[in-house]
Structure 1
Amino acid sequence: MSALLLIDAGNTRIKWALADDAAALGDWRAQGAVPHAEAATLATAWSGMESPLRVIAANVAGEPAREAILAQLRASVPLAVVEWFASSPRRAGISNGYRNPGQLGCDRFAAAIGAHALAPGKNIIVANCGTATTIDAVTADGVFLGGMILPGLGLMASSLARNTAQLPQIAQDGKLPAGFADNTDDAILSGILAAQAGAIERAFARHEAAELLISGGAAPYVAQALALPLRHIDNIVLIGLHAAARAG
């Protein structure tokens, strides 16, 4: 059984997973993540694995990230065939409803593929809560309708601290206060979580969705503010790449 290396280069980190072609989605042999500044360590991690015959990579971090990843692939898996995943009009059971299908971020397209593969036959919302938060709608029969992009929790908190005279920088991983906040740190946390949750809940209601699939580093914090039927998925983009690779 051949091995497949999946790579998700987001705005903050490079996530990867090694899987068998026919393995269940999310059933990884190995996985890891590094900040972009530590991309040079990837070859060491990959060289200790069974050499994959195929690599499929999604990159939204620009040309420097692409070149850094390629250098690590050449050093560790030089014989693997590399595909740079891109949005297209249709793939792996998803029809891309964007006005210009190629303009859709490849991470959002992969997340939609992964979400539909995990919840076929349902109207779903997929929220990926990272540096930015993306909230997208997929129909039961696999049509990607579009969605929303907003700053992630960290960006919202940093924006308030940077652009106001007296508001502090807070950590995004605090405990959501019950009721109205009675101190400034909790008031900021309540506000940014309510903004994220409100956008997700608005999309969920508009789409008449049956389920929310939520992913990304900030997902556990946003999830606590939601009252929706949801599943927390660890790296929905990698799962979507796996589903796309299996579909051909």
Structure 2
Amino acid sequence: MLLAIDVGNTNITCAAYKDRELVNEWRISTSGSRTAEEYGVWLSQAMAIDGLQLKDVNHVIVATVVPETLFNIKGFCRRYFGVTPLVIGEANVDLGMTPLIDRPSEAGADRLVNAVGAHSLYGGPLVVIDFGTATNFDVVDGDGNYIGGVIAPGVNLSLDALYRAAAKLPRIAVESPMRVIGKNTIECMQAGIYFGYIAMVEGLVGRIQAEYGSEMKTVATGGLAPLFSKGTDLIEIVNGDLTLAGLVEIFYRNN
């Protein structure tokens, strides 16, 4: 069984696959100080609830945007699975695509993996929008190569900054408001965040397509993708497991 580990800025997702089919997935908050033993205890308990065991895993692939987690995750894999994981960004891992950007080593692992996953599932050219800690727009050409993108502040990051910087503004949840013109402070904030990000999505994707020179499919992922996809017809596909799908695709390209 293959274990795909996606280390994001906020959460770590571990997903078990058998012959490319998802068996189950589990999440834990990201921490650079979590030890190999702590990973082992957590995952063994989480898997046991679903009738699985650590010994069922014989392959591991990892993508991380938090470098300080990698040492202990590698130790966890060696100790509990007896394997050295494939790690996105290391020289021995072939993505099966070319990052056509100025400094490929600077591209986030999640962005490259999303590009691979999206192109393998939907073809190209396309734009991948990841509603995560940051809101990323990643551009993939017709051949599946990653050609660059846009990084904008994440939705919750923007909300948190607004709450912290303005003394009288409350902390609010991200919701789809009934109208653009708010009638109270909370409605005004919700409209600003929701419709503001919808406008950003539509504006940036339009500019990306104009610069690329053709229409492109638009795929969204991340926890808030379903909510924001309801506010625009521009997002054609929502896939919450896109990063995991990319990891699985890369694993099989290397095995």
* Range class of TM-score, shorter chain: 0.7 to 0.9
CA distance, structure 1, for counterparts of residue 13 and residue 196 of structure 2 = 27
1:84-99 paired onto structure 2 within 5 Å: 84-86=87-89, 91-99=94-102
Residue 51 of structure 1 aligns with an amino acid whose one-letter code is: D
CA distance, structure 2, for counterparts of residue 109 and residue 139 of structure 1 = 13
Residue 114 of structure 2 aligns with an amino acid whose one-letter code is: A
| Map of 1:239 onto structure 2 | 245
User: Which one of 216, 219, 222 corresponds to residue 216 of structure 1?
Assistant: 222
Which runs of 5 or more residues in structure 1 are unaligned?
Answer: none
| Map of 1:66 onto structure 2 | 70
Structure 1 window deviating more from structure 2 (189-198 vs 160-169): it is 189-198
For normalisation by structure 1, the TM-score amounts to 0.86
Q: Residue 98 of structure 1 contacts residue 146 of structure 1 at CA under 8 Å; is this kept in 2?
A: yes
Which runs of 5 or more residues in structure 2 are unaligned?
Answer: none
| Map of 2:116 onto structure 1 | 113
- CA RMSD for the aligned pairs? 2.3
Q: Percent sequence identity over matched residues?
A: 27
1:82 is displaced (CA, Å) by 0.8
Q: Residue 43 of structure 1 contacts residue 72 of structure 1 at CA under 8 Å; is this kept in 2?
A: no
Answer yes or no: is 1:152 the counterpart of 2:158: no
Describe the superposition over 1:22-43 as per-residue Cα deviations: whole angstroms up to 9, x where unpaired. Answer: 42xxx30121111125863124
**Larger relative contact order (CA 8 Å, sep ≥ 6):** 1
How many aligned residue pairs are there? 237
User: Which one of 73, 76, 81 corresponds to residue 80 of structure 2?
Assistant: 76
Residue 60 of structure 2 aligns with an amino acid whose one-letter code is: V
CA distance, structure 2, for counterparts of residue 143 and residue 209 of structure 1 = 16
1:96 alignment partner, SS class: coil
Structure 1 window deviating more from structure 2 (200-209 vs 41-50): it is 41-50
Q: Residue 77 of structure 2 contacts residue 84 of structure 2 at CA under 8 Å; is this kept in 1?
A: no
Residue 10 of structure 1 aligns with an amino acid whose one-letter code is: G
1:128-207 paired onto structure 2 within 5 Å: 128-172=130-174, 174-205=175-206, 206-207=208-209
Describe the superposition over 1:132-152 as per-residue Cα deviations: whole angstroms up to 9, x where unpaired. Answer: 111111112212121111121
Q: Residue 78 of structure 2 contacts residue 84 of structure 2 at CA under 8 Å; is this kept in 1?
A: no
CA distance, structure 2, for counterparts of residue 152 and residue 238 of structure 1 = 20
CA distance 1:139–1:48, change in 2 (3 Å): same
1:161 is displaced (CA, Å) by 0.6
Residue 231 of structure 2 aligns with an amino acid whose one-letter code is: A
